[in-house]
Structure 1
Amino acid sequence: MSDWTEFLTVPGAVKELYEVPPGLDVCDLFYFHVDERLESVTLGFDTRNLPTNPREDWLGAEFNTFEFYVQFVGVTELRISGWTGQPHHDFSLARTVGGRLVVTISGADAGQGARFLATEASLVKSRVYLAGGQ
């Protein structure tokens, strides 16, 4: 996948944390929220690929996981099928000729996934934390 951060309204929000941002293929999707009032979809991811340039307020803390949320606004044509909430998904982000974002999420099982169009995407929250397990 191409650099997904280029689809963000402010790509630097992630790029300032990483020399090379992790691909969404190495991130687990753990949060999928549809807000029909704001016509938005918020996706939450986490990854063990840690920031190479952590924020100053994270220094000194012990952490092994980076968590972040991307909010897509101006969402239309939302289609969800066979959603099971499993963390591993394939993502596709692209732009239409008119400049809209096309987001496609495919699950491990056939027929599982989601697709929608959005006008923009923003990083709305990020943090690091110490997760148990491997």
Structure 2
Amino acid sequence: MAKSQEPRSTIIMTDHWADLLTTKRGLDTLYDAVPPLESVRLRSFHLSWRGPTIIARVDLPTYPDNPLREWFERDHDTLQIHVQFLAMDELIVRGWIPSSAVDFSFSRLDRRRLLTRITGAGLEVSFTCSDSLGVGHISSFRSLASRPEGEGRSFLQPLDARRFSALPETFESTYYERV
């Protein structure tokens, strides 16, 4: 069945991305104000046929105002989260420069949908998705060029904290395919 070519009703969003989360999973206790998804480091994004879904793993641009005591004692300076976009459609990906900063932008569409754009130097990603976002696998670590990415990581969710002390390998589907 062919997709309708009717024009979409697009309204630029004024809400904060965190207002679209089904649950904040502790972000609201870590931050006095959750930072925008601007100038974030996009570490990876995982595509899954279930949903279909995209899960973006990003380092937030600022460290929490109220970090856990353990994180403070371990001199952590970076907070990483997974953001889940459900019912993804119309995916376009152009380019990829792994360490460059990116911005996420959202535009509301009809039928509780969003047009999501991820842009940065050498990267353009766009897709439509549900207007309900998920967040999970919140972790904290010290970013040092000499330290491997996953070493010395602490996790906010108790299950992640029991299972991992470092960033899991990419084949760990329970970490990369779900939030």
Cα distance 1:85–1:26, how it changes in 2: closer, same or farther (>3 A)? Answer: closer
Q: What is the CA distance between 1:86 and its match in structure 2?
A: 4.1
Aligned position for 1:24: 37
> Structure 2 CA distance, aligned partners of 1:55 and 1:95?
35
Residues 5 and 15 in structure 1, CA contact (< 8 A), matched pair in contact too: no
> Structure 2 CA distance, aligned partners of 1:61 and 1:83?
32
Cα distance 1:105–1:66, how it changes in 2: closer, same or farther (>3 A)? Answer: same
TM-score (norm 2): 0.64
Q: What is the CA distance between 1:104 and its match in structure 2?
A: 0.6
Q: Note the alpha carbon deviations across 1:76-106, whole angstroms, 9 max, x for none.
A: 1111122343431222123213211221112
> Structure 2 CA distance, aligned partners of 1:82 and 1:27?
17
Cα distance 1:61–1:5, how it changes in 2: closer, same or farther (>3 A)? Answer: same
Q: 1:100 aligns with which of 113, 136, 139?
A: 113
Larger % of strand: which? Answer: 1
Aligned position for 1:44: 57
Taking only the aligned residue pairs, the percentage that are identical comes to 26
Aligned position for 2:17: 4
| Secondary structure in structure 2 of the residue aligned to 1:50 | coil
- Equivalent AA in structure 2 for residue 117 of structure 1: T
Aligned position for 2:80: 67
Q: Note the alpha carbon deviations across 1:26-75, whole angstroms, 9 max, x for none.
A: 32111111112341101111135111122466453321111111111111
Unaligned runs of 5+ in 1: none
Moved over 4 A (4+): none
| Secondary structure in structure 1 of the residue aligned to 2:19 | helix
- Equivalent AA in structure 1 for residue 126 of structure 2: R
Unaligned runs of 5+ in 2: 1-13, 146-179
> Structure 2 CA distance, aligned partners of 1:90 and 1:60?
30
Residues 91 and 103 in structure 1, CA contact (< 8 A), matched pair in contact too: yes
Aligned position for 1:124: 136
The structure with the largest alpha-carbon Rg is 2
Q: What is the CA distance between 1:11 and its match in structure 2?
A: 3.8
> Structure 2 CA distance, aligned partners of 1:117 and 1:23?
19
- Equivalent AA in structure 2 for residue 9 of structure 1: T
TM-score (norm 1): 0.82
> Structure 1 CA distance, aligned partners of 2:125 and 2:115?
11
> Structure 2 CA distance, aligned partners of 1:11 and 1:60?
24
Q: What is the CA distance between 1:24 and its match in structure 2?
A: 1.4
| Secondary structure in structure 1 of the residue aligned to 2:27 | helix
